[in-house]
Every structure is written in structure tokens, then in C-alpha cells.
Amino acid sequence: EDQVTQSPEALRLQEGESSSLNCSYTVSGLRGLFWYRQDPGKGPEFLFTLYSAGEEKEKERLKATLTKKESFLHITAPKPEDSATYLCAVQARAGGTSYGKLTFGQGTILTVHP
């Protein structure tokens, strides 16, 4: 069974204080790893897709990296508007898993104080 575990559950930062969120996964052949951002009362918003170990993607203050067992979301000099829940999800390749099925972690709640 595919599993995704995110840590920490919650993270409080001061504005400008860089940090990283962790996503550990076990999957029967990784097709893709995804990062989403979710604001309260809203649906998740896509950030990145990573396909293979060593791959990196960047967007503004965010950088996502991938190894064979985990992914990191690095946040550089965060601002209060970066406060949200960050979700990691995997899509398995093996066993005929459809393209539709993502397995999500429970998320990391990030709060950035001014």
C-alpha cells in the first residue's frame, strides 16, 4: 500500500526565516510526486510535479527536491502570504494504478509571522 508521511505537522516561522518541509513516501514504483498548497476553505492548488530522484523545481520562494525515499519543500525568506497547508502526494506506477489516483499525506500547516 502506498504511504505518504509529512513532517512536521505544523511549523511556525518568522518572516524571512528559511526552512524545509519533509515528505517521506513508500510507493510501488513512483510515477510522480506532487506538491500542492491549500488555503483554509479552498481546494488544493498545484505547485510542482517531480518525476525522478535528483530532480528539482523552483517557483518564487519555493524549491522542491526529490530523492528515492523523500521530497523536501524548501522555503526561502518566507512571507506571511506563504502561510497555508502544504500537501505532498504520490502517484504509483505499478499494479495498474490509474492516472487518477493520488495518495496524499496529511499536510504541514505553515504559519509565517510578520
Partner 1 sequence: GAGVSQTPSNKVTEKGKYVELRCDPISGHTALYWYRQSLGQGPEFLIYFQGTGAADDSGLPNDRFFAVRPEGSVSTLKIQRTERGDSAVYLCASSPAGGPGELFFGEGSRLTVL
* Residue 107, C-alpha cell as written in the block: 499536510
Among 18, 52, 106, 111, binds partner 1 (CB under 8 A): 106
| Sheet architecture: strand order including 70-75 | 3-7, 19-26, 70-75, 62-66, 56-59
- Footprint (CB under 8 A) of partner 1, residues 61-90: 87, 89
Q: Which is nearer to partner 1, 19 or 97 (CB)?
A: 97
For the chain, what percentages of helix, strand and coil (3-state, to nearest 5) are there?
Answer: 5, 55, 40
Q: Least distance from C-beta 77 to partner 1, angstroms?
A: 26
Q: Which residues bind partner 1 (CB under 8 A)?
A: 4, 31-32, 34, 41-46, 49, 51, 87, 89, 91, 97-107
